[in-house]
Structure 1
Amino acid sequence: MAQVRARVQLKVGRNSDIPAEIISFTDLKDGKEHIAMVFNNADTEQDVPLIRMHSECLTGDVFYSSRCDCGEQLNECIEMMHEQGGILLYLRQEGRGIGLYNKIDAYVLQSQGMNTYEANNHLGFADDLRDFSDAVLMLNALNLSHVKLMTNNPKKLNALKDAGINVDSVVGTHAHIKAGVAGNKSYLETKIKHGAHMLDIKKIKKP
């Protein structure tokens, strides 16, 4: 699998200048343009690097939607990897795999009282359509067989283990509860109850 690497400066979180290397890949299974972002040469200088599989969320990552904590999780990840090194796999799987427009349709249903899973189901989708096999291919291309995984999602953990990637430890993200934002805390509680996310609702990250 071929790779193309480019060095960039990022503007994330608190407007820090954070250097990282962006890697593109050929021959991925689903044909989407997934990328890896490498901080502090973690792919070559760390035996067991910290990695995160982050599914694209335009509304959260870019516009900081009140309906999720994706942007806050992404910033937490990037700032941690800036400090200690790591590899961010940014996967183009918007809306747990249902796509951006369908996610906006789901927003309408959530405004009517459904949670995120119920809204997806009402639209005819399963709870979570994401497939992490391309993430495994990306790790294989980077020659990584042992990793530390930054996640609260057991599905991501099991996907790596089932593919033969050794997860030496799991690092959880904080609960990003937005003060005064209706629905944010209930969104996180739903991920815990329905999606079995390993999230400590008391482990609150202050903005």
Structure 2
Amino acid sequence: MNIEISEIANLPSRFGDFKVKAFKEGCKEHLVIFKKNLDETPIVRVHSECLTGDAIGSLKCDCRDQLEHALKLASKTNGMVIYLRQEGRNIGLLNKINAYALQDKGFNTVEANHQLGFAADERTYEIVIFILNHFNINKIKLLTNNPRKIESLEGIEIVERIPIIMKSNPHNEAYLNVKKDEMGHLL
């Protein structure tokens, strides 16, 4: 892996005062948001980019709620959020919007990805292991509902899985049910 790593910078935010560091993997630039005095076994959220949810507040998903919850928790517990640039489960923004259009026609999120020629979830997590090793972290409390994240962090001891359950709304209920029923999310 050829990874470029930035310096550490301060990032005061509405969720608390953080440090940030960027990791460039090919054309993807990931961001690590963390407290200066990380816990020995920090709470870590691996969050994949969702422009429509994170930035615009889409009600089709629970991404923004999860991100904000994770940042608040990281601030309170000296934890970390690893923000991965894997838009639309790593199919990219253009394809994600095409998947949205298919969902508007009645396909669920998994079916829409399949219609576009993608797996239900194209994300990978090798960079997370690299980042945690860079910070000399080998034990974490993982804030996730996704069993693939748990399974993929080889060499990292997950001492606890912390659920991240957000309140559903009429626009994301079916989406959350598909994540649970078809993708095995622990909801």
TMscore range, shorter length:
over 0.9
Amino acid at match of 1:8: L
User: Is 1:196–2:150 an aligned residue pair?
Assistant: no
> Alpha-carbon deviations, 1:131-171, whole Å to 9, x = none?
100111011101111111000000000011xx211101000
Q: Residues of 2 paired with 1:40 and 1:198: CA distance?
A: 31
Q: Residues of 2 paired with 1:69 and 1:94: CA distance?
A: 14
Structure 2 residue runs without a partner (length 5+): none
* Aligned pair partner of 1:19 in 17, 30, 35: 17
**Alignment correspondent of 2:94:** 101
Kept in 2, the 8 Å contact 1:73–1:176? The answer is no
Q: Residues of 1 paired with 2:90 and 2:124: CA distance?
A: 8
Correspondence 1:28-177 to 2 at 5 A: 28=25, 30-42=26-38, 46-160=39-153, 163-177=154-168
**Alignment correspondent of 1:202:** none
TM-fit CA distance, 1:82: 1.4
Amino acid at match of 2:152: A
> Alpha-carbon deviations, 1:65-102, whole Å to 9, x = none?
12111001001111111111211000000000000010
Q: Residues of 2 paired with 1:77 and 1:6: CA distance?
A: 20
Amino acid at match of 2:11: V
**Aligned structure 1 segments of 4 or more residues deviating by more than 6 angstroms:** none
Kept in 2, the 8 Å contact 1:151–1:172? The answer is yes
Q: Residues of 2 paired with 1:175 and 1:89: CA distance?
A: 19
Q: Residues of 1 paired with 2:42 and 2:161: CA distance?
A: 12
Aligned residue pair count = 184
Q: Residues of 2 paired with 1:120 and 1:176: CA distance?
A: 25
Alignment RMSD (CA, Å): 1.4
Please give the TM-score of this superposition, normalised by the length of structure 1: 0.85
Kept in 2, the 8 Å contact 1:40–1:86? The answer is no
Identical columns (%): 39
Please give the TM-score of this superposition, normalised by the length of structure 2: 0.93
